[in-house]
Amino acid sequence: MFLKGKLRHRIVLSSLIALSVIPATFCGTGASAHSDVFSNYSLNRAKQIAQQDQKLLLVEFTASWCPPCKEMEASTWTDEAVRSWIKENALAIQIDVDEDEKTSAALKVEAMPTLVLYTPASGSREFGRQVGLISASELLRWLEGAKSGKSAEDLEKELAGSNTSAIWERMSKARELDSAGKSAEAFEEYVWLWGNLKDEDPNLGPIRSSMLPVEMKKLAAVNSSAKGRLLEMRDAAEKADNRHDWIILNGMLDDNARTLAWFDKAKSDSRQLSVFRKHTALLEPVLFSASRWSDAATYLYPEPLARINEYYKRAQDMKKPRPHTEMARDFDPFPGMVLLLYGAYIGAGREVEAQKIADECLRLDDTAGMREALGGMAKGMRQARDLQKKGAK
């Protein structure tokens, strides 16, 4: 269910960008009051009962320290329409992420509240999920839609709002055409999306740089006209000096060699350093796939300790409570942010600087997770570096 997962995930991430204040009434530290809308069953037992009774199963992942969860306790779960609907049509249970870490980890729950829904048709397979505070009316619309037989993608599109309905319609149409073997028509739908999605959109922009390139590359591999369109799009991006799109389009065309050739020419011009920095996320996989770790260290991360501190500030901001979402207490994006930077210096053989980077990471975040991440990256990169040396002999 890529569409529902991606959209909701991005909505959550976008909510982490703006600083907000949690109402004081929801900032208590005591355990949440357990609404009687929830039954006291384990997840496995609840699945069995829901299937037996042919009802929806709604699972809320919560925590006693989660302000948005407390707000839902005080609003959504006390709403009489919600309570009546669940009593008639569904089984609902609550799982505290601190008390049942195994289930929370198995379902990859990282933010609270998270609502996971199962339907009689989906069985033990998740039908869909919502992350963040959801109002009574929104919840009922979601549940009613699931009961009526609508797909998870259709429901997600409806909840996303009318402003993005055209986007989701095009995505659904592209998938249908692709499934029907109409690759040229499907490709045209993706081209429309490529032209109409904005990279700066926190909710939909990531789809443009992640999902669309995968789908378009797949179609271009089996359709010569699609490949021709990609070549035209790449030429247009280069002419417009749109380096962002040009790099992505090179990847779609399996022509990262062109990106590397530009990079090698540009790196002799100090004015291009800002361009490299702007497009670090796009250049990282290109350089690493070519084992160009020295170039990555030198040109993407010329001031590694300063960059590490930038990552740390960003990670700390991501962990802050928001009005509609609370991240898990053990959620720590920082180790994942620093690994490629650290790995580049290891791969480049710049061990002294790499040690300084590791020391700075541990100064900021001396956790088992960080130590494990750094150790694994160092081991893997040293092995890759040794293999590269052997291959060069």
Positive or negative CA dihedral for 13, 19, 25, 29? positive
Among residues 69, 92, 93, 339, the one annotated as catalytic is 69
Among residues 66, 139, 237, 327, the one annotated as catalytic is 66
Closest by CA position to 327, among listed 336, 317, 338, 314: 317
With contact defined as beta carbons under 8 Å apart, do 312 and 365 qualify?
yes
CB atoms within 10 A of CB 33: 11
- Looking at residue 390, its amino acid is K
CB atoms within 10 A of CB 120: 15
Collapsed DSSP state (helix, strand, coil) of residue 316: helix
With contact defined as beta carbons under 8 Å apart, do 77 and 135 qualify?
no
Structure-token match 């397979």, residue found: 125
Strand order in the sheet with 56-62: 90-96, 56-62, 114-118, 128-131
**69 has catalytic annotation:** yes
Cα distance between residue 296 and residue 281, in whole Å: 11
Closest by CA position to 37, among listed 114, 136, 160: 136
Query: How far lies 143's CA from each of 8, 58, 152, 236, 293, in Å?
Result: 16, 9, 11, 46, 50
CB atoms within 10 A of CB 80: 8
**27 has catalytic annotation:** no
* SS3 per-residue string spanning 109-176: CCEECEEEEECCCCCCCCCEEEECCCCHHHHHHHHHHHHHCCCHHHHHHHHHCHHHHHHHHHHHHHHH
CB atoms within 10 A of CB 265: 10
What positions carry a catalytic annotation? 66, 69
